[in-house]
């Protein structure tokens, strides 16, 4: 039988894997032998995502930073290097689109020889995919009755990525000694605003760069700068009424010391390569048929499991985490990551719990350096009206800003919340009459005593009449589940 077709998008998988990266870096020839390893830091940069037969492959590089003392020197040095990796996620079918997120869970290192180290990093990779599909909903015909409801479904109208580069010069103060060596670098990027103009997503955001360097006297110093930007991602086929979901990934961070002119050894150039991802979605009205029957024949029905998710804008809630350094410790560098650990509805209130993992480089009263990780928990309570039982709750925490002094640090976190209506149903996609007529009925009507679980649809289906005929015979029914006697006419 004929039906109506509606194109929707459905989230089809969410997979997370742990990837362990190992490397054995060797000191360059100009550096003295190793005396002691202070600690190891790591960052992950995704370079490529691609779909292959039966799998999704993610390729990237893990950037290691080893801080150490070398023999005969009383100063801190570092070795920065990258280790490439490739990891595949098995998939049963090719998705219409997917997203990839990555973070460092843990990094460690140890000395092997006088000029060689062994370092390890555990990476968490997550892949989410969606599938575009056509849902066919049968239409009513004479003697065929359908149990249908209208719901909002998600349609991904367009998705695209765009890479761009930010280069920023960072100068030291006039009274400070010349730059000798870059010891550590970190950057974060976040989206402040998204909007659709024609078929373009306009993204406004900020990148923050932190640099730790050693001057010619061996002292460790810090530079920080925020760089605002505006970028456009082409989304062909999207409408201005679409909701835009955007994310930013830093694919490369390179830092160089100026070597020419008056700024030689007096400034640093930080080059950021960023990949912006934007996805435009809108709600489509979808008619789901969950049951059917005919008054003149038996039916063959084909059903399909379907998880229908609507579209809602992202609400961002900002919070901050503060902590003080332990007595006798001076913070000289800080980087942070934010994670969501739990999100649930409690007494009609949305509760989101997470933590900030701050990695600190500090100096103690004896002048020794060390790396320490501190974890601080946080909770936010976004205000929202859509708190039904059938909802899909997506949350993401993004570090927006890291600031610190010698005695403490503060991390600003933006928690993005998306609360969408979702329905998990078996929808009827095909109905065929098989020509077998039901047994003849000798009476003209039935009297039926409804219990608290009956519905008008079920009563009409049982006696092969129409729901409308039952309504006409009994007058207004304020509550179909109430106990009462129904007059059920039989269609001839």
Give the range among 222-231, 240-249, 482-491 with minimum mean pLDDT: 482-491
Residue 457 φ then ψ, to 5°: -60, -45
Residue 243 has pLDDT above 70, yes or no: yes
Predicted local distance difference test score (pLDDT) of residue 490? 76
**Tokens 């979702």 identify what position?**
422
Q: pLDDT tens across 404-445, in order?
A: 999 999 999 999 988 887 888 899 888 888 876 655 556 677
At residue 347, does pLDDT exceed 80?
Answer: no
In the predicted model, is pLDDT for residue 118 greater than 60? Answer: yes
The domain locations on the chain are: 9-130, 439-492
Q: What is the pLDDT of residue 442?
A: 60
**Hey, what's the torsion of the CAs at 322, 325, 331, 334, to 10 degrees?**
-30
Percentage of the chain beyond pLDDT 90 is 61
Chain centroid to CA 379:
18
| The pLDDT of residue 440 | 52
pLDDT given at position 472:
85
**pLDDT value at residue 299:** 87
Cβ burial, residue 333 (10 Å; 0-12/13-18/19+): buried
Instruction: Please tell me the pTM assigned to this model.
Output: 0.86
Query: How buried is residue 88: exposed, middle or buried, by Cβ count under 10 Å (0-12/13-18/19+)?
Result: middle
Please give the average per-residue pLDDT across 256-270, as a whole number.
90
pLDDT value of residue 3: 73
Per-residue pLDDT for 81 more than 90?
Answer: yes
| 359-394 pLDDT, tens digit each | 999 999 988 999 999 999 999 998 876 556 567 788
Tens digit of each residue's pLDDT (9 = 90 or more) over 475-491: 776 666 565 788 888 76
What's the whole-number mean pLDDT along residues 452-465? 83
pLDDT score, position 449: 82
Whether pLDDT at 309 is above 80: yes
Q: Which two tokens stand for residue 353?
A: 């719990």
Q: Considering only the top CATH level, what class is 439-492?
A: alpha beta
Can you give the pLDDT at residue 312?
Answer: 83
pLDDT at 362: 93
pLDDT value of position 447: 83
Question: What is the per-residue pLDDT for 480?
Answer: 61
pLDDT at residue number 170: 94
- Average pLDDT in the chain: 89
**Average pLDDT of the residues in 334-342:** 94
**Quick one: pLDDT at residue 101?**
94
Among candidates 254, 67, 237, which has minimal Cα distance to 165? 254
pLDDT at residue number 478: 63
What's the pLDDT at 63?
97
- Percent of the chain at pLDDT > 70 equals 95
pLDDT at 203 exceeding the cut of 90: yes
HSE value, Cβ hemisphere, 13 Å, CA-based, for 173: 6
> Which among 254, 178, 191 is positioned nearest to 221, based on CA atoms?
178
Residue 268 pLDDT greater than 80, yes or no: yes
Please give the pLDDT value at position 404. Answer: 94
**pLDDT at residue 116 greater than cutoff 60:** yes
């Amino acid at each position: 039988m004929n039906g109506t077709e509606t194109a929707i998008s459905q989230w089809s998988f969410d997979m997370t894997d742990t990837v362990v990266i190992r490397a054995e870096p060797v000191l360059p020839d100009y550096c003295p032998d190793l005396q002691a390893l202070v600690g190891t830091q790591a960052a992950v940069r995704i370079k490529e995502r691609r779909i292959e037969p039966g799998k999704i492959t993610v390729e990237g590089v893990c950037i290691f930073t080893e801080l150490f003392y070398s023999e005969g020197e009383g100063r801190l040095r570092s070795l920065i290097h990258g280790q490439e990796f490739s990891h595949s996620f098995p998939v049963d079918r090719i998705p219409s689109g997917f997203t990839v997120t990555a973070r460092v869970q843990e990094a460690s290192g140890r000395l092997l020889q006088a000029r060689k180290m062994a370092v390890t990093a555990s990476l968490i990779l997550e892949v989410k995919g969606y599938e575009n599909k056509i849902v066919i909903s049968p239409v009513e015909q004479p003697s065929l009755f359908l149990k249908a409801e209208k719901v909002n479904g998600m349609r991904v109208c367009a998705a695209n990525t765009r890479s761009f580069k930010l280069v920023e010069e960072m100068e030291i103060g006039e009274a400070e000694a010349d730059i000798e060596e870059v010891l550590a670098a970190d950057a974060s990027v976040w989206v402040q605003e998204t909007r659709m103009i024609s078929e373009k997503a306009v993204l406004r955001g900020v990148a923050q760069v932190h640099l730790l360097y050693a001057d010619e006297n061996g002292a460790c110093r810090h530079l920080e700068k925020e760089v605002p930007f505006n970028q456009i991602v082409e989304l062909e086929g999207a409408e201005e009424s679409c909701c835009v979901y955007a994310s930013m990934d830093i694919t490369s961070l390179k830092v160089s010391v100026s070597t020419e002119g008056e700024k030689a050894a007096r400034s640093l150039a930080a080059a950021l390569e960023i990949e912006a991802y934007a996805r435009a979605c809108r709600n489509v009205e979808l008619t789901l048929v969950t049951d059917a029957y005919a008054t003149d024949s038996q039916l063959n029905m084909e059903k399909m499991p379907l998880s229908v998710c609507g579209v809602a804008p992202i609400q961002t809630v900002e919070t901050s985490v503060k902590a003080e350094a332990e007595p006798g410790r001076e913070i000289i560098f800080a980087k942070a990551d934010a994670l969501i650990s739990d999100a649930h509805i409690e007494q009609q209130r949305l509760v989101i719990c997470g933590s900030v993992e701050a990695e600190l480089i500090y100096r103690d009263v004896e002048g020794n350096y060390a790396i320490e990780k501190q974890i601080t928990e946080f909770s936010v309570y976004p205000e929202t009206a859509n708190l039904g039982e059938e909802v899909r709750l997506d949350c993401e925490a993004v570090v927006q800003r890291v600031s610190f002094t010698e005695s403490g640090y503060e991390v600003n976190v933006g928690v993005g919340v998306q609360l969408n209506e979702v329905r998990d149903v078996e929808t009827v996609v095909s109905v065929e009459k098989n020509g077998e007529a039901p047994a003849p009925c000798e009476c003209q009507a039935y009297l039926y005593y409804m219990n608290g679980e009956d519905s008008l649809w079920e009563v009409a289906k049982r006696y092969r009449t129409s729901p409308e005929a039952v309504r006409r015979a009994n007058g207004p029914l304020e509550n179909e589940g109430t106990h009462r006697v129904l007059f059920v006419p039989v269609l001839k």
